[in-house]
Structure 1
Amino acid sequence: MSDNLADLQREINSLSERVAALRNTHATYPGDAGGTAEAALAELEYAERLLGDAGGELARALSGPAEPRRSGDDNDRVLLRAMFNELSVPVVLLDHDGYIRRINNAGAEQLGGAPGYVTGKPFAHFVDLRKRAAMQSWLAAVLRGNGPASLESRLAQRGWAEDVHLTLTRLELPTEAQPLVLVAMSPPMNGADEDGPSPLEPEVEDQVVVLAARRLDVLTRMTRLLLRGTTPTRALALTDAADLLADSYADWVIIDVCDLPEDPNAARRAAVIGPADAPEGQRDEVAALPPGDSDIPREVLGRGQSLLFPLIEDETVLGNMGAGAPALGVLGAGSLLSVPLRGSRGVRGALTLIRRSNRSSFRLADLGLIEEIGEHIGLALPPRPL
């Protein structure tokens, strides 16, 4: 067995060198992406075979009748783990329910976190909402034994989005009651951008000082707006407030107002502002969604408590569009927060902000700022009609 492991280690070292050469070639000659991608796919298929061999060796090491452990077996297992962790191809091992069982260092870097952070989380939560359903369907097909699957997808987490090619392979190990799935990640094969917001480079605004300055600027501008508008109509005041937040803090801003405190389901959608590049008619579709038919803002209006989703796990919480598609998926949402508009006599409405998956996620500091802005807007609302 040790000879087999030594051969595997040599092959992995050679593979790592070739992958590094392909990566450098792609960076130097981006116009030749097609040829580089074909070579990368061939290397990915070879890496898949190597991982299968390594998995078989590990399964044989862990199976068999119970007997005293030998130091050689322990060394082999340590070597196999090291080979998996240091493999230059990003790979993830999923359990039967789609949760990350194990991930190598390259895979954790691809998902934007440390191995200990991402292990135990559903892999689907790292996939952009637009691509999540397709990935889950392919994952189910692979688990059913329909053979390996290859698909174009998009990862989105913590302020970035990246198109990737996923290769899913079913693994059956003697030590596991249910089959596992090995997911290998590589650059997209088509070389074209997918639909939805384009991926962004890491934002300079992630610096703590810059973020604090931006939050203070937003609060100051909102306060000035509300103080300046002493006698505006309600719609104009709310539209201006939503437009200010959309201009500097979010992609979508939704304001719902409840004129009957005893019936949060009777809330009306008072203002909707979206990004300039939103498809024609999309803003009207969001405006037409009844607030009382979705978990957000109905829960905010009913309980008077704020909600923060740094990573959106359920894309149905804002309701469904006319065609039945979840609204958050259609909007390409990556992060959301919703706060009550609290006036002198209780909750008057809800303020909901959405950032798309190519922007940094909302944080607790953002929630505190928007809660204060929500209270200012609630105090500036005209009295409820008698």
Structure 2
Amino acid sequence: MSGTDAFGRDLADFVRRVGELRAARALPPEERRDALDTALFELQHVAETLWPQYERLAARAPAGRPAERQESQLLKAVFQRLPLPVALVDGDTAVRRMNQAATVLTGVPAGYATGRPLAALLAPGDRVAFRSQVAAAARGEGGRSLSVRVRPRSEEPVRVTLVALPLPGEPVPAVLVVFQPGADVVEARGAAVPAGGVPGGHAEVLAAGAGADDRAGAGGAGAGDLAGATARASALDVVDAVATALLRRPPGDATGALEAVARVLHGRFADWVLADLTPAGAAHAADRPAPGPRRVAALGPSGEDALAGELAAQEPARCPLVAEVARSASAALQVRLEDPLALGTDAAGTAVLVRAGVGSLLCLPVLDGGGGPQDGPRTPRVLGVLTLLRVDARRAFSMAEARAADVAARHTGIAMVRPG
């Protein structure tokens, strides 16, 4: 290990020196000669020192590596084909691996989930307990089991078993999370699922997991292409409807344009639509309202008039996510909610996202189109913020839908600054 450690230190020092050489590009041309000589010296160091060290370390690698790789591939295949939903997380619940059955259960692709907290895929009321139990398992306090609700199936309790899993070369063990969908929540002491038995209601998840493999091998690509084409067509319809609504609005009315777009997106694209006008956008409003961010639309599902009224009266500055998007001019997409307090709280102190039963959200800045060739180097101004929410029972926002909504927001910004 001493040779490996020494090589690692030499390589880290080399990378640091290369970073310093990159900074030398800002020097005047007459001062770059020394930097060029240094770069040639570093290249010689790689060729004469680092590369021979690497070859020596590679030659000393233990025998039997092909067999070890084959064993590793076998274990990965077993993990992916395991009929129970299984995930590997760290002590903070960040996902490291997730098998196919787990993606079916959560409705989230493994690639998207990797690196994100698994707790975010649970109902808000279960996240704190889940994080606490995972941290305890990672500290070596023993395996444990608890009942949680996985979104969007929040009404169905799922039994979760947590087991610490030491990994070679890592000081802190990972935690293996095993879901048992459909398992009854047993409170009686000593009650358990019989050995070898499959909890009731689990057949649907198993069939779905197996079906995913079958579809991938026989005709799955065609079905995916059809679904993708349908989603793209639906997204184009939304952009077309927004453009039509904007063209029908008279110029010089930023507030009216933003409200019109909110009405178009409500229902067909999102269950909840919040439209906020920033001070820059208020300057283009027909009624010239007092400067300051204000909410111009809060549209929700039927039967949610009370919450819609509270949201309409809410100050945008008290919504952390809206304030951040307005400040950074960058969109935010959350396929699964990560912070229940992202849109603040209602009058009773309950998180708005929890009360509305939101499953995914999309928050978009409405820009004035600055930064184009006709505008020079000017950065675009944020005229408003559109916040789109979908409830748990509805499919989460996709990347294609987020792109379509971003185009619609850009069209909205251009329409808002049209002179009257």
In structure 2, distance between residues paired with 1:216 and 1:100 = 34
Find out whether 1:95 has 2:130 as its counterpart: no
Return 5+ residue gaps in structure 1 as ranges: 1-66, 192-200
The corresponding residue for 2:298 is: 272
1:221 partner letter: A
SS in structure 2 of the partner of residue 151 of structure 1: strand
- Render the CA deviation track for 1:224-259: whole Å, top value 9, x for unaligned: 333334389876664443222112111111100123
SS at match of 1:247: coil
User: 2 CA distance for matches of 1:161 and 1:361?
Assistant: 14
Provide the residue aligned with 2:394 in structure 1: 359
Preserved CA contact (<8 Å) 2:106 2:150: no
Residue 215 of structure 1 aligns to a residue whose secondary structure is helix
* Superposed CA offset, 1:31-89 (max 9, x none): xxxxxxxxxxxxxxxxxxxxxxxxxxxxxxxxxxxx99899999988876665554422
Which SS does the other structure have where 2:178 is aligned? strand
The 1-side partners of 2:291 and 2:163 are apart by: 46
Q: 1:183 to 1:301 in 2, by over 3 A?
A: closer
Instruction: Quote the offset at 1:268 in angstroms.
Output: 0.5
CA contact 1:94–1:180 (8 Å) conserved in 2? yes
Partner of 1:166: 159
* Whole-Å separation in 2 of the counterparts to 1:146 and 1:288: 49
Higher Rg = 2
1:292 aligns with 2:288: no
Q: Is the 8 A contact 1:294 1:317 kept in 2?
A: yes
Aligned pair count? 304
Question: Which residue identity lines up with residue 299 of structure 1 in the other structure?
Answer: E
TM-score, normalised by the number of residues in structure 2: 0.57
Is the Cα–Cα contact under 8 Å of residues 250 and 355 in structure 1 kept in the other structure?
yes
Is residue 2:303 matched to residue 1:309? Answer: no
**How far apart are 1:113 and its partner, in Å?**
6.1
Q: Which secondary structure does the structure 1 equivalent of 2:150 belong to? A: strand
Alignment match, 2:50: none
Q: CA deviation at 1:101?
A: 4.4
1:321 to 346, 351, 354: 346
Indicate conservation of the 8 Å contact 1:152/1:189, yes or no: no
Spell out the pairing of 1:1-386 with structure 2 (5 A cutoff): 84-112=79-107, 118=113, 120-129=115-124, 131-140=126-135, 142-143=137-138, 145=141, 148-156=144-152, 163-171=156-164, 173=166, 177-189=171-183, 207-230=227-250, 238-259=258-279, 266-276=292-302, 278=304, 281-343=306-368, 346-381=381-416
The 2-side partners of 1:127 and 1:86 are apart by 23
RMSD value over aligned CA atoms?
4.5
Structure 1 Cα separation of the partners of residues 291 and 334 of structure 2: 22
SS of alignment partner, residue 339 of structure 1? strand
Q: Distance in 2 between matches of 1:71 and 1:344?
A: 56
Q: What is the CA-CA distance between 1:271 and the residue it aligns to?
A: 0.4
CA distance in 2: counterparts of 1:190 and 1:243, whole angstroms: 43
Q: Report how far residue 320 of structure 1 moved.
A: 3.0
Name the CA distance, whole Å, in 1 between partners of 2:127 and 2:239. 35
Is the 2:162–2:177 Cα contact (8 Å) retained in structure 1? yes
Distance 1:171 1:340, change over 3 A: closer
Compute the displacement of 1:128 (Å).
4.2
* Contact 1:235 1:271 (8 Å CA) reproduced: no
2:43 is aligned to none
